Chain A
């Protein structure tokens, strides 16, 4: 299977780069980019293979191969690789966006002393992510998942000499670890319930009908089916990785890493892993029907996160933090889509979002680079004149994110989500939350555009356009953000057909169905309102944010991110601290008391034996040793150290021997 090479090539590149010296910048970058380009080409080939191979009878074409990895007793753990439309699209997106980000990094990290190390980590990250996507075993997924976590830790903390970066890296690692705990539990439960961790294994995999039926029919507790419990546990991991409420706190802090890392983590790969995991495990989530408890949870969490993060984004002033909360919000959208049962809508939005969010992050990086490491949008302004290429591409990304009709991918993919949310039988509330979030998205993006590019420059640096090695990837991503709108339209539901293995037909009439028109119209109105209000409020720069003037306490709450961090600090961290104090107290007063008691007892015993030794045994030994020493001294007085003396004794003996022998012989 050549697809194994797709993750292995970047992994090897990472390994080789790790051995390089710090100064070997050009070979390191060349090697990593070449490996990534090769795996992109391989991904493209794999993707084309899946295009041609439509499964028979409406089945999805899956090709996989498994191999045993570890045998413990009679149990054998197998790993495997899988190629199906869900993964193929994803792997192409991941490798392609990674490649562009790598190229961009050459320009962005040019000044950094640890350039080589950076590329090593990037390559490791990409390898791990590709492994997650191509895995046919939950175990391999988990391994790569943790590798992704490790790489993200290394990359967020890349500038570890900054305390914020080190703290952010730690925060990201620990927060996702909380989710991963659930993931691990779910995995173990899945193994005990189905006896395998392979997704597809000729009818024996855990995502295949037999195992699903078994899990769906068993009840665990409080009326929950086993499959739902497993799904919820796995969703914990996905929520951690994808920054869903309440585990979203690490994601904005992760902006402390270099901007290409932000782009890589928050656009293409790491956060997408959560959504991808839920999409991959969707059969388990939906084992008890499309409105199962697990999916309902997913939908509510997604909808809440979308609105919640969008609200916070409105009040942020850091260019990258706005985008970070926007990402959290968009991931909420995807989770909502999954929760309401549409994998296709989620994946379409995921891929479209990957392109335009990577574009936005890289654009933000270009802006930061251009104004000399300034991240506060209040100190920018008027950059349209200084950085025209960045401005145009950033504007395309912004319009795609807002969902400006009709030529931007965001419009179609978001519409699709609104559409499926609207049709959800359980509740209409998530739909309205999503609508509100979409409005806010348009609003805060307009705010950001106004702050950054409109008006006149307010900073003190000398803004300049970024080099071609940075702007060219921007252009490519902008093109992709526009082009992605084509396969996303309902008129040509290419993704839908591709994912579900159905024939793809072009039907222009679908655009004019009543249902679609309503939603699309609503969406257009929302976007127009968002952009319009945003422009109205922020067209002129003001020292105090206009929203703060209108409702200052509310704005402060938003600016402080609903005090979630403070809440965690007051509850979880404080509780842990108290627990630690308690443990320390127990350790100090109870455990060490016991230890001291034991110590004192053995001390007493040993002093007793010491007395015995000294006054009873030693007397005998002393006399024996003294005798030995005296004897030794007597013997050693012969050992004069004079070689000639020895020789004399030797020759006296030899002569005596000679005389005796001669006597005997004659």
Chain B
């Protein structure tokens, strides 16, 4: 199997590079995601999450969806990760470096078990499904102009709804987090 792998690598180095261009960030993604789950230090967890976001964005770009990849980077790294970090700093200023009780009670084991069952089930279905064995099509690209046309054409209602949702979320978040006048 390893020989096959090496053979294909040598036969078509460009394809080899192209594949690893997807797989390498995907591996980083998994490692960072796993680290984010088990890290005791919240800040480290958040930074690992940020790294996994970046890796996910690169996966998207490598898969040809560069617009989505950039949006992923801009929104998740630029905004969501920063929000999480901010929230951590705002809520735990006193125990910044103290490792909190990461897991507690019997629930966590059950949670991990559920996660594991879900993983096994999903993998089972993925590897038995005929659909998943499809080979990679030659190429796929999503030009920005086409995405823009689609957003303003077929998906304009959804776009407007998202705009309303984001505005409402902005206002709502500001109102929720606003300082209470009466204690």
Direct contact of A and B (CB under 8 A): yes
List the B side residues contacting A658 at CB < 8 Å: 118, 121-122
- Chain A count of residues within 8 A CB distance of the other chain: 10
Cβ of A555 to closest chain B Cβ, rounded Å: 77
How far apart sit A72 and B122, CA to CA, in the bound complex (Å)?
A: 83
Q: Which of B114, B122, B128 contacts A652 (CB 8 A)?
A: B114
Q: Judge if A644 is at the interface, Cβ distance under 8 Å.
A: yes
B107 and A659 form a contact (CB under 8 A)? no
List the B side residues contacting A645 at CB < 8 Å: 107
Q: From DSSP, what is the main secondary structure of chain B's interface residues?
A: helix
B121 and A666 form a contact (CB under 8 A)? no
Residue picked from B110, B111, B114, most chain A C-beta under 10 Å = B114
Cβ of A33 to closest chain B Cβ, rounded Å: 51
Task: Closest B residue to A654 by CB, please name it.
Answer: B118
The digit string for B118-147, where 1 denotes a CB below 8 A from any CB of A, is: 100110110011000000000000000000
List the B side residues contacting A662 at CB < 8 Å: 121, 124-125
Task: Closest A residue to B111 by CB, please name it.
Answer: A648
List the A side residues contacting B83 at CB < 8 Å: none
Q: Judge if B117 is at the interface, Cβ distance under 8 Å.
A: yes
Q: Which of A651, A652, A659, A666 contacts B129 (CB 8 A)?
A: A666
Task: Closest B residue to A644 by CB, please name it.
Answer: B107
Q: Which of B107, B118, B125, B128 contacts A655 (CB 8 A)?
A: B118
Q: Which of B114, B121, B128 contacts A651 (CB 8 A)?
A: B114
A648 and B118 form a contact (CB under 8 A)? no
Cβ of B124 to closest chain A Cβ, rounded Å: 8
List the A side residues contacting B114 at CB < 8 Å: 648, 651-652, 655
Cβ of B159 to closest chain A Cβ, rounded Å: 29
Task: Closest A residue to B113 by CB, please name it.
Answer: A652
Known contacts A648-B107, A648-B111, A655-B114; decide if A666 and B122 are in contact (CB<8 Å).
no
Task: Closest A residue to B122 by CB, please name it.
Answer: A658
Known contacts A662-B125, A666-B128, A666-B129; decide if A655 and B111 are in contact (CB<8 Å).
no
List the A side residues contacting B129 at CB < 8 Å: 666
Cβ of B110 to closest chain A Cβ, rounded Å: 6
How far apart sit A648 and B111, CA to CA, in the bound complex (Å)?
A: 7
A648 and B125 form a contact (CB under 8 A)? no
List the A side residues contacting B111 at CB < 8 Å: 648, 651
B128 and A659 form a contact (CB under 8 A)? no
List the A side residues contacting B110 at CB < 8 Å: 648
The digit string for B89-122, where 1 denotes a CB below 8 A from any CB of A, is: 0000000000000000001001100100110011
Cβ of A541 to closest chain B Cβ, rounded Å: 76
Task: Closest B residue to A659 by CB, please name it.
Answer: B121
How far apart sit A652 and B110, CA to CA, in the bound complex (Å)?
A: 9
Task: Closest B residue to A655 by CB, please name it.
Answer: B118
List the A side residues contacting B117 at CB < 8 Å: 655, 659
Cβ of B106 to closest chain A Cβ, rounded Å: 10
Cβ of B57 to closest chain A Cβ, rounded Å: 27
Cβ of B133 to closest chain A Cβ, rounded Å: 14
Task: Closest A residue to B130 by CB, please name it.
Answer: A666
List the A side residues contacting B125 at CB < 8 Å: 662, 666
Cβ of B119 to closest chain A Cβ, rounded Å: 10
How far apart sit A366 and B118, CA to CA, in the bound complex (Å)?
A: 104
How far apart sit A429 and B85, CA to CA, in the bound complex (Å)?
A: 112
Q: Which of A644, A652, A655 contacts B121 (CB 8 A)?
A: A655
Cβ of A114 to closest chain B Cβ, rounded Å: 41
Cβ of A641 to closest chain B Cβ, rounded Å: 14
Task: Closest A residue to B117 by CB, please name it.
Answer: A655
List the A side residues contacting B121 at CB < 8 Å: 655, 658-659, 662
How far apart sit A645 and B106, CA to CA, in the bound complex (Å)?
A: 11
The digit string for B148-169, where 1 denotes a CB below 8 A from any CB of A, is: 0000000000000000000000
How far apart sit A659 and B121, CA to CA, in the bound complex (Å)?
A: 6
The digit string for A627-666, where 1 denotes a CB below 8 A from any CB of B, is: 0000000000000000011001001100100110010001
Task: Closest B residue to A665 by CB, please name it.
Answer: B125
Cβ of B151 to closest chain A Cβ, rounded Å: 31
Cβ of A570 to closest chain B Cβ, rounded Å: 66
How far apart sit A644 and B107, CA to CA, in the bound complex (Å)?
A: 9
List the B side residues contacting A644 at CB < 8 Å: 107
List the B side residues contacting A666 at CB < 8 Å: 125, 128-129
List the A side residues contacting B118 at CB < 8 Å: 651, 655, 658
Cβ of B27 to closest chain A Cβ, rounded Å: 25
List the B side residues contacting A659 at CB < 8 Å: 117, 121
Residue picked from A645, A651, A655, A662, most chain B C-beta under 10 Å = A655
The B-contacting residues of A in range 385-432, CB under 8 angstroms, are: none
How far apart sit A652 and B124, CA to CA, in the bound complex (Å)?
A: 18
How far apart sit A446 and B117, CA to CA, in the bound complex (Å)?
A: 121
Q: Which 8 A-B pairs have the closest CB atoms?
A: A662-B125, A655-B118, A659-B121, A651-B114, A655-B117, A652-B114, A655-B114, A658-B121
A-B contact pairs, 6 of them (CB 8 A): A648-B111, A652-B114, A655-B114, A662-B121, A662-B124, A666-B129
